[in-house]
Copies of this chain bind each other. A is one copy, B any other.
Amino acid sequence: MSGDVLNHAFRLASRPVGLPTRDNWQFTEQPVGEPGDGEALVRVLDISLDPAMRGWMNDARSYIPPVAIGEVMRAFAVGRVIGSRHPDLKVGDHVSGLLGVQEYAVVDRRGLNKLDPALAPLPVYLNALGMPGMTAYFGLFDVGRPEPGQTVVVSGAAGAVGSLVGQLAKLKGARVVGIAGGPEKCRYLLDDLDFDAAIDYKAQDLGRALRTCCPDGIDVYFDNVGGEILNAALARLARHARVVICGAVSQYNAREGISGPANYMSLLVNRASMTGFMVMDYGSRFAEAGQEIAGWLARGEIKTQEDIVTGLDTFPETLLRLFSGEHNGKLILRVAED
């Protein structure tokens, strides 16, 4: 088929300052590539849009090299094998991996995970059974380590990672307080996910709300947002609290440098710790975590929500919803129907 079929892709044209705009992207059309030995040609179906993508656009030393100018934008996605030169992969197999923001990807077998669409819908493999699920699982259980009866606070609570963190903490017997923006998200946390309390940071005084919702202080704070919300949570830590640094979505587009948490000395007064983690470090345990999460999903003990936007060409604008908060649950860009 290759040669006849064209692949459309979003490539990085320039590095954004602040929020990325359409000018930062180049939309290209090229013949689909041929898989080499050990590779597969994959039709991209659903692309995961993640806050971390903003960091990959910066030319800065980080945990992973930046996307180069002219390179297809890096993204995690699910797809269907339509050509294979590896014995493990057959045409029709479903896979996930770093397929990029494009319609077709040629990827080495080692960069692909086989999926079973009978076990869960494909978008769930980008959510509870994908990176958000692994991030919530290892960040909460390995770094946060909540105990029954303790108070867990999570920011970005209606997002993909945050909503899972809260639900997993409830499964472990913790009291869970979610911080989210807007009444609709807070209603979702309370009514659909059974959080013990929800704080609308756009409408409420955060310090006062945290005092009310966490009378004995915060034992585990799982931070996805940074900025003033992190700072307010630090001021309410309980003795020996664990702060999990998972992300700082409020800061990724900052033009004037990140603002640091002025209340960090609360770590000293409360003998508390603030720890960063990278989900990739837990790769050897993904299968184990995935099985446990799949069980909870199958028994209806956790719920996921995917916000699916259709059309590769909407990518530049859809990506921005991550930073404006205009999405509910895991944000996914649908490139093609399975």
**Are A258 and B267 in contact (CB-based, < 8 A)?**
no
Q: Tell me which residues from 215 to 246 in chain A have a Cβ below 8 Å from any Cβ of chain B.
A: 226, 231, 245-246
Partner of A276, one of B226, B251, B260, B267: B267
Q: How many copies does the complex hold?
A: 2
Report the separation of the CA atoms of residues A275 and B276 in the bound assembly, to the nearest whole angstrom: 12
Report the separation of the CA atoms of residues A52 and B295 in the bound assembly, to the nearest whole angstrom: 51
Q: Is A281 an interface residue (CB 8 A)?
A: yes
Measured CB to CB, the nearest residue on chain B to A278 is B271
A side interface size, CB within 8 A: 32
**Are B260 and A245 in contact (CB-based, < 8 A)?**
no
Q: Is A314 an interface residue (CB 8 A)?
A: no
Query: Chain A 256-274, CB within 8 Å of chain B: the 1/0 string?
Result: 0111111111111111111
**Are A276 and B281 in contact (CB-based, < 8 A)?**
no
Report the separation of the CA atoms of residues A278 and B271 in the bound assembly, to the nearest whole angstrom: 6
Partner of A277, one of B247, B268, B278: B268
Q: Tell me which residues from 192 to 208 in chain A have a Cβ below 8 Å from any Cβ of chain B.
A: none
Report the separation of the CA atoms of residues A258 and B271 in the bound assembly, to the nearest whole angstrom: 19
Q: In the complex, what residues of B have CB within 8 A of residue A258's CB? A: 262-265
Q: Is A72 an interface residue (CB 8 A)?
A: no
Partner of A62, one of B247, B251, B269, B278: B269
**Are A269 and B276 in contact (CB-based, < 8 A)?**
yes
Measured CB to CB, the nearest residue on chain B to A248 is B265
Partner of A273, one of B262, B263, B274: B274
- A212 smallest CB distance to B (angstroms): 17
Report the separation of the CA atoms of residues A258 and B272 in the bound assembly, to the nearest whole angstrom: 18
Quick one: which of A246, A262, A266 has the most chain B CB within 10 A? A262
Q: Tell me which residues from 15 to 59 in chain A have a Cβ below 8 Å from any Cβ of chain B.
A: none
Measured CB to CB, the nearest residue on chain B to A230 is B264
**Are B281 and A271 in contact (CB-based, < 8 A)?**
yes
Q: In the complex, what residues of B have CB within 8 A of residue A264's CB? A: 245, 258, 260-261, 264, 274
Report the separation of the CA atoms of residues A268 and B261 in the bound assembly, to the nearest whole angstrom: 14
Q: In the complex, what residues of B have CB within 8 A of residue A270's CB? A: 276
Report the separation of the CA atoms of residues A185 and B302 in the bound assembly, to the nearest whole angstrom: 58
Report the separation of the CA atoms of residues A98 and B24 in the bound assembly, to the nearest whole angstrom: 63
Q: In the complex, what residues of B have CB within 8 A of residue A261's CB? A: 260-261, 264
**Are B260 and A231 in contact (CB-based, < 8 A)?**
yes
Q: A247-B268, A268-B277 are in contact. List 19 more A-B contacts (CB 8 A).
A: A63-B269, A226-B265, A246-B268, A257-B262, A259-B260, A260-B261, A260-B262, A260-B263, A260-B264, A261-B261, A264-B274, A265-B276, A266-B276, A267-B274, A268-B276, A268-B278, A271-B275, A271-B276, A271-B281
The 10 closest A-B pairs by CB, nearest first: A260-B260, A268-B276, A267-B276, A260-B262, A273-B275, A260-B261, A274-B274, A258-B262, A245-B268, A63-B269
